[in-house]
């Protein structure tokens, strides 16, 4: 058999680039909508007379029930109506939710709009990496899927930068409304862009639409790759068509699939248990309480956003050379060390110098998360689940992720008040050491194989206690 080329043709390369840029607008919106609240909150809490509980509710309502429900049902919807139509639906939810937040007259409407926005965020967080993983050739899958993570952190950086810019340009206590309304622009771009893209060949194969699956492969593969990958998809989907089991039945009855889904849920928990979103949502508040003014805190937070983008790019490059499990273990070790330094810094006497040391520790912490953990977890979640329940299983894992995110984000101000910053970040150190142990024991290596080959290898390992590839 001749060796398959690893480089795409010019036309397929252009198609995959266009597809990646359009689809990852969902990731950009995910990042902007979760990041923008950190700055908007500084004005909103006075404008809407938010109590501490109201503040926590506004932040966490996007996460739970919003994003959690969006993830749980988004995977099922993506399996039923397709990855493309689900992303179109997400774009509509992003648009309605952003405009609803911008015009909210009171906290009740704000929470309702944040829930709508959260449903879009949750569904997109499942569907974007799923769509990219199924569209990508095996040798480009890691890079294409992790571009979505780059767009997430780019969205967060844009949110931090937009907050600081609008704070400087618009001397108005209602400036938070403009901060939130900006998200409508990429929502419209996602809506228009997805109209011109096809669905994934794996989803077409799952639905028996083999001619359309081949057409998409012709667009996105070299001529030498089309036949071999089409045969692989045909064989795989023909095997799956012999069963009429529901996803819940498969999960209950097939031990190896249940184990893989549990590993996926564990990955979701440890990614959020880093505490990364305590920085994304509360960085300006933490810096303001450390002694910086509101404007200075907003500007300083941009450093966190820039760090996220730069380290994510480095992480994407490293994925070409380092295995997923190794990346995760380096990441959790670094996160634990940087959080220990952060916890100790809060013991210093309050000063401007102390504020900037806190910022430096936060930047180091964010760098380890985004370079080694953020890039890998979303990629692994898009890879490890079998095609027959891929959207459903990823929906469960991302539901767990968003629930964990919501719990940590809601509890952080309470823990910080009860334990102090040193005690709170000390607790995160212990959690991240446990996460390192989980990755080492349970997480599989997926680098360098097709999605179908991964599924076959996991099934062959069904008689072993845990599905770990080293």
Q: Residue 61: helix, strand or coil by DSSP?
A: helix
User: Could you tell me if 120 and 94 are in contact, meaning their C-beta atoms sit under 8 angstroms apart?
Assistant: yes
Give the tokens for residue 450: 């097709």
Name the band, by pLDDT with cuts 50, 70 and 90, for residue 440: very high
Percentage of residues of the chain with pLDDT beyond 90: 48
The crossing angle, in degrees rounded to 10, of helices 107-135 and 375-383 is 60
Of residues 278, 299, 315, 328, the one with CA closest to residue 446: 328
pLDDT tens, residue by residue, 124-162: 999 999 999 999 988 888 888 989 888 988 998 898 889
pLDDT value for 280:
63
pLDDT value for 464:
47
pLDDT tens, residue by residue, 190-202: 999 999 999 999 9
pLDDT tens, residue by residue, 91-120: 999 999 999 999 999 999 999 999 999 999
CA angle 315, 193, 12 (to 5 degrees): 65
pLDDT at 171 exceeding the cut of 70: yes
Number of Cα atoms under 13 Å in the Cβ half of residue 330: 17
pLDDT at 325 exceeding the cut of 80: yes
State in Å, rounded, how far the first CA of the chain is from the last one.
Answer: 27
User: Could you tell me if 291 and 421 are in contact, meaning their C-beta atoms sit under 8 angstroms apart?
Assistant: no
pLDDT value for 408:
83
pLDDT at 1 exceeding the cut of 80: no
pLDDT value for 4:
43
Distance in angstroms (rounded) separating the CA atoms of residues 385 and 383: 6
pLDDT value for 60:
80
User: Could you tell me if 430 and 275 are in contact, meaning their C-beta atoms sit under 8 angstroms apart?
Assistant: no
User: Which of 239 and 354 is assigned the larger pLDDT?
Assistant: 354
pLDDT tens, residue by residue, 367-394: 999 999 988 998 999 999 998 888 899 9
In degrees and rounded to multiples of 5, residue 319 shows phi and psi of -60, -25
User: Could you tell me if 303 and 356 are in contact, meaning their C-beta atoms sit under 8 angstroms apart?
Assistant: no
For the beta carbon of residue 69, count every other beta carbon within 10 angstroms: 17
| Domains defined along the chain, listed by start | 10-197+243-463 (1.20.1250.20)
pLDDT value for 399:
92
Average pLDDT, the chain: 87
Q: List, in order, residues 6 or more apart from 210 with CB less than 8 Å away.
A: 204, 230, 234
Of residues 115, 85, 53, 87, the one with CA closest to residue 411: 53
Give the tokens for residue 299: 């500007």
Distance in angstroms (rounded) separating the CA atoms of residues 456 and 305: 39
Of residues 291, 309, 254, 288, the one with CA closest to residue 463: 254
Name the band, by pLDDT with cuts 50, 70 and 90, for residue 238: confident
Distance in angstroms (rounded) separating the CA atoms of residues 75 and 77: 5
pLDDT value for 7:
52
Q: CA separation (Å) from 300 to 84, 290, 293, 303, 356?
A: 38, 12, 10, 6, 9
pLDDT at 23 exceeding the cut of 90: yes
User: Which of 413 and 115 is assigned the larger pLDDT?
Assistant: 115
| Residue in the block written with tokens 């936060």 | 362
Name the band, by pLDDT with cuts 50, 70 and 90, for residue 168: confident
pLDDT value for 244:
64
Is the peptide bond prior to 417 cis by the omega test (within 30 degrees of 0)?
no
pLDDT at 410 exceeding the cut of 60: yes
Percentage of residues of the chain with pLDDT beyond 70: 94
pLDDT at 276 exceeding the cut of 80: yes
User: Could you tell me if 148 and 139 are in contact, meaning their C-beta atoms sit under 8 angstroms apart?
Assistant: no
pLDDT value for 176:
93
User: Could you tell me if 435 and 274 are in contact, meaning their C-beta atoms sit under 8 angstroms apart?
Assistant: yes
pLDDT at 467 exceeding the cut of 60: no
pLDDT value for 143:
85
């Amino acid at each position: 058999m001749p060796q398959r080329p690893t480089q795409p043709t010019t036309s397929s390369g252009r198609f995959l680039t266009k597809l990646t840029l359009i689809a990852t607008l969902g990731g950009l919106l995910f990042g902007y909508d979760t990041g923008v609240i950190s700055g908007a909150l500084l004005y909103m809490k006075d404008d809407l007379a938010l109590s501490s509980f109201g503040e926590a509710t506004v932040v966490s309502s996007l996460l739970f029930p919003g994003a959690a429900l969006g993830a749980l049902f988004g995977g099922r919807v993506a399996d039923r109506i397709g990855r493309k139509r689900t992303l179109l639906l997400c774009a509509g939810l992003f648009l309605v939710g952003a405009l609803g937040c911008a015009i909210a007259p009171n906290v009740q409407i704000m929470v309702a709009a944040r829930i709508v926005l959260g449903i879009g965020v949750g569904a997109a967080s499942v569907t974007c990496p799923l769509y990219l993983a199924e569209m990508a050739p095996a040798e480009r899958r890691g890079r294409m899927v992790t571009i979505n993570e780059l767009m997430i952190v780019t969205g967060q950086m844009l949110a931090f930068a937009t907050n600081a810019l609008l704070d400087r340009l618009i001397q108005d206590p209602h400036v938070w409304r403009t901060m939130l309304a900006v998200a409508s622009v990429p929502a419209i771009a996602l809506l228009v862009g997805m109209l011109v893209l096809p669905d994934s060949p794996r989803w077409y194969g799952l639905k028996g639409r083999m001619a359309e699956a081949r057409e998409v492969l012709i667009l996105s593969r070299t001529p030498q790759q089309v036949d071999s990958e089409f045969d692989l998809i045909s064989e795989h989907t023909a095997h799956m068509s012999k069963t009429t089991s529901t996803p819940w039945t498969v999960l209950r009855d097939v031990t190896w699939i249940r184990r893989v889904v549990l590993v996926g849920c564990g990955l979701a928990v440890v990614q959020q248990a880093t505490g990364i979103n305590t920085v994304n949502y509360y960085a300006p508040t933490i810096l303001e309480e450390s002694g910086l003014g509101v404007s200075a805190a907003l500007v300083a937070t941009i450093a966190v956003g820039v760090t996220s983008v730069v380290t994510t790019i480095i992480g994407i490059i490293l994925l070409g050379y380092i295995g997923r499990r190794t990346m995760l273990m380096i990441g959790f070790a670094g996160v634990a060390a940087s959080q220990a330094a952060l916890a100790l810094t809060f013991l210093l006497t309050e000063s401007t110098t102390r504020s900037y040391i806190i910022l430096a520790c936060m930047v180091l912490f964010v760098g380890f998360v985004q370079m080694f953990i953020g890039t890998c977890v979303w990629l692994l979640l898009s890879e490890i689940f079998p095609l027959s329940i891929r959207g459903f299983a990823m929906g469960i894992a991302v539901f767990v992720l968003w629930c964990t995110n919501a719990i940590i984000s809601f509890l952080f101000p309470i823990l910080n008040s009860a334990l102090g910053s040193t005690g709170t970040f000390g607790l995160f150190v212990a959690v991240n050491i446990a996460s390192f142990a989980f990755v080492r024991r349970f997480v599989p290596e997926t680098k360098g194989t097709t999605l179908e080959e991964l599924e076959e290898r996991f099934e062959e390992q069904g008689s072993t206690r845990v599905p770990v590839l080293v």
